[in-house]
Chain A
């Protein structure tokens, strides 16, 4: 293995999740950010919030992150929702479009959480069919994010990384590698996060997510709450991921207990510094 001239992670490669309380400040100060990422479902109505996003879109690339397509649901995709997703994409023209390895709706009820799938052949078939249908309807390649997990099913037969890899192989989708999710799941289920990273197909990684987590009360579980700074071991894992995947666009997610915008920008700078200390190494 040789270390080539490192493709450095520039300001253009690190973004933040856009949350309402920061919109006015970003619009006024126009901080140096690679991109902003929004949850698709928060911008599907003709609200003033959408107008603000469309204004910011003039200055920043936007990544659209879906949280409710429920690609893992048994049965059919919600075509109305998919249509609204498509309409948003046509307006925003995002640099990236992503969703989750999860499900959240069944029997007409939307459960507003990224619920875990059993990793079985049946799930894989359903999930790939839905990813393929969504990509076809949206006319875009999707990135699929690995989940943070608090439970696993006894009848799962496929390792999560294999499930993701197989989905990418069958549908042509990419993978959104959420480094914090890997750390949270690895801690909750006592597996080695680096082995997990090493099992992901390098060339399919289209984005990295970083976020904070916290320990649950009274139980030995980490909760992926996106409510604090990125934890030191997650930064370490990020360095490993960059070394393995190269300088992919990286997002700082912070969705609860929102801090001042400066704190997020400080996390962005930290991601850039770290990336530039860990040049991409790949086999010659």
Chain B
């Protein structure tokens, strides 16, 4: 007789891959063979996890069609079963998986679409806190300004891709998908939580570099320097907009 742990590890194997004769021998078979009984549980596992992934990655699913998505999801879940017990948190590794998934090699932007959707999903699950007003800057001595660290809303993240992922995402929100010019270039996007889920906006390269540097914990002076490659970048205007968009939640020295 197997211990509970041994039996559960065998069942885990059966849910994700192969059904062993040792496990079959432990199961009553009156009326229906053990493998058919195990498949009832396995079907439920595969169906519900695929549905969870489809719900988090609807655009990826649409781009490859549902049948192929179910196939890819099945391969993914066998190799990477969920660790979190909240299904909305399943799929952190799907983008990396897709980037190495041979049948998807003709869709080089697909993994970035998955990263984009995952970032939206993540943003939607983090509550924002009370923002600071720009007047808070007045308390910072000018000689300390360059070393100032600006904490942004905890839900905010920054996404960059060499493909027009935001245009692909937008096109796939419509019933009739209009073609997207893949040669139109990359994108730089900010995502954050919103009342009904998430929101995102495309940012100019300078603003994007500036905000991403702040989000990474770099000081104001360093963040401004990373944005300087964009001739349109204006630090004072960038700071105004940062506060106006209710993004700043803390100011601190290095």
**Interfacial residues, chain A to chain B (CB-CB below 8 A):** 41-42, 44-48, 51, 68-70, 73-75, 78, 81, 84, 103-113, 115, 117-118, 120, 122-123, 126, 150-155, 188, 190, 216, 219-221, 223
Contact = CB atoms under 8 A, between A and B. Distances in A.
B45 A151 contact: no
Contact of A113 (B2, B5, B15, B84): B15
Contact of B40 (A150, A153, A190): A150
Contacts of A219: 32, 36
A216 B125 contact: no
Interface of B: 1-5, 7-9, 11-12, 15-16, 25-28, 31-32, 34, 36-38, 40-41, 44-45, 48-49, 52, 81-89, 124-127, 193-197
A251 B195 CA distance: 30
Contacts of B32: 219-221
A167 to B, nearest CB: 15
The secondary-structure label for the interface of chain A is loop
30 contacts: A41-B85, A42-B88, A45-B89, A45-B126, A46-B125, A46-B126, A46-B127, A46-B193, A47-B125, A48-B124, A51-B195, A73-B8, A106-B9, A106-B12, A109-B81, A110-B85, A112-B48, A118-B4, A120-B1, A122-B3, A123-B4, A150-B40, A151-B34, A152-B27, A152-B28, A153-B27, A154-B25, A155-B2, A155-B26, A219-B36
Nearest to B198: A48
A70 B26 CA distance: 21
A150 B39 CA distance: 10
Given A46-B125, A46-B127, A151-B28, A111 B4 contact: no
Nearest to B6: A74
B23 to A, nearest CB: 10
A106 B48 CA distance: 18
B48 A113 contact: yes
A221 B31 CA distance: 9
Given A106-B8, A113-B41, A153-B26, A48 B197 contact: yes
B7 A111 contact: no
Given A111-B15, A151-B37, 15 more contacts: A42-B87, A46-B126, A47-B124, A51-B195, A74-B5, A103-B8, A109-B16, A112-B49, A112-B52, A113-B41, A115-B41, A150-B40, A152-B27, A153-B27, A188-B31
